[in-house]
Amino acid sequence: DGGITQSPKYLFRKEGQNVTLSCEQNLNHDAMYWYRQDPGQGLRLIYYSQIVNDFQKGDIAEGYSVSREKKESFPLTVTSAQKNPTAFYLCASSIAGTSRTQYFGPGTRLLVL
């Protein structure tokens, strides 16, 4: 089955700790994205990558970091600099290029202890 997987489903972070959220896709998509969703709000773009070894900041990149070493993987690290990390994080992928439909993974819910 082709699709996007995210793990873990739930993640708990202690104060001052970095945590990494996994996103893998086997759709052979070039572009991948990370969004953050807060209650009652739409999705906000954190980072995106159009091609391996390249990525750009989205609207709310502060306190986050990413890497794109493989086409199928785009992990997101929530660093201790992110002061309000509690949210639902969604990964998406698409064929590269403009106006390409994005397909989403099931999401990871991050909670701060």
Partner 1 sequence: GEDVEQSLFLSVREGDSSVINCTYTDSSSTYLYWYKQEPGAGLQLLTYIFSNMDMKQDQRLTVLLNKKDKHLSLRIADTQTGDSAIYFCAENEEYGGATNKLIFGTGTLLAVQP
Question: Which residue lies nearer to partner 1 by CB, 82 or 108?
Answer: 108
Q: Least Å distance between CB 13 and partner 1?
A: 19
Helices (H) and strands (E) in the chain, counts: 0, 11
Distance CA 36, CA 47 (A): 10
Structural contact between residues 109 and 9, judged by C-beta atoms closer than 8 angstroms? yes
Closer to partner 1 by CB, 13 or 103: give it: 103
Q: b or e along 97-109 (b: 16 or more beta carbons within 10 Å of the residue's beta carbon)?
A: eeeeebbebebbe
Q: Which residues bind partner 1 (CB under 8 A)?
A: 4, 6, 31, 40-45, 48, 50, 56, 58, 90, 92, 94, 96-107, 109
| Minimum separation from the CB atom of position 70 to partner 1 (A) | 20
CB nearer to partner 1: pick between 73 and 80? 73
State the nearest-atom distance from the C-beta of 80 to partner 1, in Å: 27
